[in-house]
Amino acid sequence: MQRRPDEREETYGPGPIQLLMIVIGWIGLLILLFLNFIPWFAQLDHKLELLAHFRVQFALLSFIPVIWFALCRRTWGLVLSVLLVGWNVFDLLPWYFPDPTRLAGQAVQNTQQAHQLKILMSNMLFNNHDTTRLEQLIKSEKPDIVIVQELSSSHLALMDRLKNQYPHGLQDVFKPAFGLGIWSRLPLTSKQEVFLGPSQIPSIYAEMNWQGEKLHLLTTHPYPPVNIVSFQERNAQYLELVKFLERHNGAQVLIGDLNITPWSPYYRQLERDSGLRNARRGFGLLPSWPAHFNPLMRIPIDHALVSPSLNVLDFKLGPDLGSDHLPIILTLTR
């Protein structure tokens, strides 16, 4: 059937509601692009560095534009959204891939059971005086080394009751929120309190002979970067602890509530300058703070960084101990 000469083909663009949805979708995508790429610019301002710690949460939000633009049938918005999701998967998924050195260590795990070293580290929250759950965890996990941060008199009393099991160590209650202590089944050939950086917060260094070789352990708890001053003092402490570790030859473990996530440029610099690697690699991100939040809303700020010569056989989070942090537990072998 032929169209009459006076008939015109009518075309329809998006209606007002669909147009509004498209605009909202593009605004949301641009915001998410900015948030997901913040780690590249986090050194410009301490507020940007704070936002960089929520990398996983922003990655999860990046799925929303995919659905949004699919519903709106906007090809370019959908393509960019899918690329953003792909980049996030590429960036985060390696934390869940097994480390080849860990696989090598697992191959001899059964024959080296007596030569493993288990470390339990927990930021207990200085005003949390419930020690029952920590005691139960120690008894069930039987770690060789126990490290407590935000140490209080209640925690000291608990560990004093366990002194027969953990006769070696060093502690400093210091001031609220920054006391810390280490207790060990193994004899310590050296131990000292060190003050790194301008904040002069105590860190504890311990040296021991393990499997016939030296092992250097440093536990530290820098200031949280809640303002520009604490941000600068935290970063200065990282620089000083790297210099401190450089003076000690042999396998090293740096462990504690470091108040930083792996997506901060200052964390990447810490790994690069120290030559240590994150013990949670291959076990997942295992976010440890805040303990009472849903795991998808938590961030990993409690870390154990270890020398490449050490095999990490296991890394996991412990249960809720009444603190705002979950404990970390790692098992090492050579």
Q: How far apart are CA 288 and CA 167, in angstroms?
A: 29
Q: How far apart are CA 209 and CA 186, in angstroms?
A: 8
pLDDT, mean of residues 165-172: 95
Residue burial 15-32, b: 16+ Cβ < 10 Å; e: rest: eeeeeebbeebbebbeeb
Summarize pLDDT for 270-295 with one digit per residue, the tens: 999 999 999 999 999 999 999 999 99
According to DSSP, residue 262 is labeled T
Summarize pLDDT for 233-275 with one digit per residue, the tens: 999 999 999 999 999 999 999 999 999 999 999 999 999 999 9
- Stated as kind and residue range, the H or E segment containing 100 is helix 100-107
Answer whether residue 226 shows pLDDT above 60: yes
CATH of domain 99-333: 3.60.10.10
Q: How far apart are CA 178 and CA 173, in angstroms?
A: 7
Q: How far apart are CA 331 and CA 253, in angstroms?
A: 12
**Per DSSP, what are the bridge partners of residue 169?**
183
Answer whether residue 101 shows pLDDT above 70: no
Q: How far apart are CA 289 and CA 320, in angstroms?
A: 11
Domain positions in the chain are 16-94, 99-333
What pLDDT was estimated at residue 103? 52
Contact 21, 72 (CB under 8 A): yes
Answer whether residue 119 shows pLDDT above 50: yes
Summarize pLDDT for 142-159 with one digit per residue, the tens: 999 999 999 999 999 999
Summarize pLDDT for 58-79 with one digit per residue, the tens: 999 999 999 988 888 888 889 9
User: How do strand 202-210 and strand 213-219 relate by DSSP bridges?
Assistant: antiparallel
What pLDDT was estimated at residue 4? 55
Q: How far apart are CA 42 and CA 188, in angstroms?
A: 39
Alpha carbon of residue 66 to chain centroid: 28
Residue burial 223-233, b: 16+ Cβ < 10 Å; e: rest: bebeeeebbbb
Summarize pLDDT for 193-219 with one digit per residue, the tens: 999 999 889 999 999 999 889 999 999
- Stated as kind and residue range, the H or E segment containing 247 is none
Answer whether residue 117 shows pLDDT above 90: yes
What pLDDT was estimated at residue 74? 85
Answer whether residue 166 shows pLDDT above 90: yes
Summarize pLDDT for 12-30 with one digit per residue, the tens: 556 777 788 888 888 888 9
Q: Calculate the average pLDDT of the chain.
A: 89
pTM over 0.95: no
Phi, psi dihedrals of residue 224, rounded to the nearest 5°: -75, 145
Answer whether residue 107 shows pLDDT above 60: no
Reduce the DSSP state of residue 258 to 3 states and report it: coil
Structure tokens at 214: 């030296």
Q: What percent of the chain has pLDDT over 90?
A: 69
Contact 254, 304 (CB under 8 A): yes
Confidence of residue 104 (pLDDT cuts 50, 70, 90): low
The more confident residue out of 301 and 46 is 301
Contact 134, 321 (CB under 8 A): yes
Going by C-alpha positions, the residue among 43, 42, 63 that lies closest to residue 52 is 42
